Amino acid sequence: MPETAINATGKSNTAELSFDDFKKIVISDYRVGYESRQASLIGRREVLTGKAKFGIFGDGKEVAQLAMAKAFRKGDWRAGYYRDQTFMFATGMSNLSEFFAQLYAYPDTDKDPASAGRQMNCHYATRFVNEDGTWVNQAETMNCSSDISTTGGHMPRLLGLAYASKLYRQNKELEYLNKFSVNGNEVAFGTIGNGSTSEGLFFETLNAAGVLQVPMAISVWDDAYAISVPAKLQTTKEDISEILKGFQREKGTNGYEIFKVRGWDYVALCETYERAINVCRTEHVPVLIHVTEMTQPQGHSTSGSHERYKSKDRLTWEEEHDCLLQMRKWMIASAIATEAEIDEIEATAKKYVRECQRKVWNELSEEIRLELNEAARLIEKLALEVFERDALMEVAVELGETVDPGRKDMVAAIRKALRIVVKNNTAPKQPLIDWLAAEDIKSKDRYNSKLFSGTQFSPLNVENVPVRYLEDSKYIDGREVLNACFDANFERDKTIVAFGEDVGAIGDVNQGFAGLQNKYGDLRLTDTGIREATIIGQGMGLAMRGLKPIAEIQYVDYLLYSINVLSDDLASLSYRTKGGQKAPLIVRTRGHRLEGIWHSGSPLGLILNSMRGLHICVPRDMTQAAGMYNVLLRGDEPALVIECLNGYRLKERLPANIGEFTVQLGKAEILKEGSDITVISYGSTLRIVREAAIELDKMGISIEVIDPQTLYPFDIDNVCGNSLRKTSKLLIVDEDLPGAASAYILQKVLEAQKGYYSLDAQPRTLSAKEHRPPYGSDGDYFSKPSVDDIIETVYSMMNETDPHKYPAIY
Active site residues: 599
Please state the separation of Cα 309 from the chain's center in Å. 34
Question: What one-letter code names the amino acid at 22?
Answer: F
Q: Under DSSP, is residue 130 helix (H, G, I), strand (E, B) or coil?
A: coil
Asked if 650 and 557 count as a contact pair (C-beta separation under 8 A), the reply is no
Q: Under DSSP, is residue 49 helix (H, G, I), strand (E, B) or coil?
A: coil
CB neighbour class for 762 (10 Å; exposed up to 12, middle 13-18, buried from 19): exposed
> What is the rounded CA–CA span in Å between residue 655 and residue 623?
8
DSSP per-residue string spanning 673-738: --SSEEEE--TTHHHHHHHHHHHHHHTT--EEEEE-SEEETT-TT-HHHHHHHHH--EEEE-SS-T
> What is the rounded CA–CA span in Å between residue 523 and residue 507?
14
> What is the rounded CA–CA span in Å between residue 733 and residue 706?
11
Rg (CA), the chain: 30
Contacts of 662 (CB under 8 A, 6+ apart): 462, 463, 464, 465, 627, 630, 631
Q: Under DSSP, is residue 608 helix (H, G, I), strand (E, B) or coil?
A: helix
Q: Under DSSP, is residue 261 helix (H, G, I), strand (E, B) or coil?
A: strand
Asked if 30 and 38 count as a contact pair (C-beta separation under 8 A), the reply is no
> What is the rounded CA–CA span in Å between residue 5 and residue 27?
13
> What is the rounded CA–CA span in Å between residue 437 and residue 418?
13
> What is the rounded CA–CA span in Å between residue 602 and residue 643?
11
> What is the rounded CA–CA span in Å between residue 182 and residue 178?
6
Paired with 672 in beta bridges are: 705
Asked if 619 and 591 count as a contact pair (C-beta separation under 8 A), the reply is no
For β-strands 475-477 and 730-733, DSSP reports them as unpaired
> What is the rounded CA–CA span in Å between residue 550 and residue 553?
10
Contacts of 67 (CB under 8 A, 6+ apart): 12, 266, 269, 270, 272, 273
Please state the separation of Cα 776 from the chain's center in Å. 38
Asked if 280 and 74 count as a contact pair (C-beta separation under 8 A), the reply is no
For β-strands 669-672 and 703-707, DSSP reports them as antiparallel
Contacts of 252 (CB under 8 A, 6+ apart): none
Asked if 37 and 59 count as a contact pair (C-beta separation under 8 A), the reply is yes
Please state the separation of Cα 798 from the chain's center in Å. 46
Angle at the Cα of 667 (from 661 to 671), degrees rounded to 5? 90
Helix (H), strand (E), coil (C) string for 257-309: EEEEEECCCHHHHHHHHHHHHHHHHHHCCCEEEEEECCCCCCCCCCCCCHHHC
> What is the rounded CA–CA span in Å between residue 402 and residue 384?
22
For β-strands 188-193 and 548-552, DSSP reports them as unpaired
> What is the rounded CA–CA span in Å between residue 383 and residue 431?
12
Q: Under DSSP, is residue 241 helix (H, G, I), strand (E, B) or coil?
A: helix
Question: What one-letter code names the amino acid at 730?
Answer: L
Contacts of 601 (CB under 8 A, 6+ apart): 555, 556, 557, 591, 592, 772
